[in-house]
Amino acid sequence: MQTEIILSGFGGQGIMFAGQLLAYAAMDSGLEVTWMPSYGPEMRGGTANCTIIIADEEIGSPTVLKPKAVMVFNIPSMIRYEPLVVSGGVLIVNSSLMDREITRNEIKSLKIPANEIAESIGSKRLANMVMLGALITKLPVIPIESLEQALDDHIPDRHRHLLDSNFQALREGSVFEELKLIEETDN
| CB of 118 vs another protein, minimal distance in Å | 25
- Nearest CA to 34 among 1, 11, 3? 3
* Residue ranges in contact with another protein by CB under 8 A: 20, 23-24, 27, 32-37, 39-41, 58-66
CB of 142 to another protein, least distance (A): 14
Min dist CB 69 to another protein, Å, is: 17
Query: Which amino acid type is present at position 144?
Result: I
* Nearest to another protein of 52, 112 (CB atom): 52
Give the residue with the Cβ less far from another protein, 32 or 119.
32
- Closest CB 86 distance from another protein, rounded Å: 11
DSSP code string of 65-126: SS-SEEEE-SHHHHHHHGGGSPTT-EEEEETTS--PPP--SSSEEEEE-HHHHHHHHT-GGG
β-pairing, 108-112 vs 32-37, is unpaired
Return the percent helix, strand and coil in the chain, to nearest 5: 45, 20, 35
By C-beta, is 33 or 170 nearer to another protein?
33
Which one, 37 or 113, has the nearer CB to another protein? 37
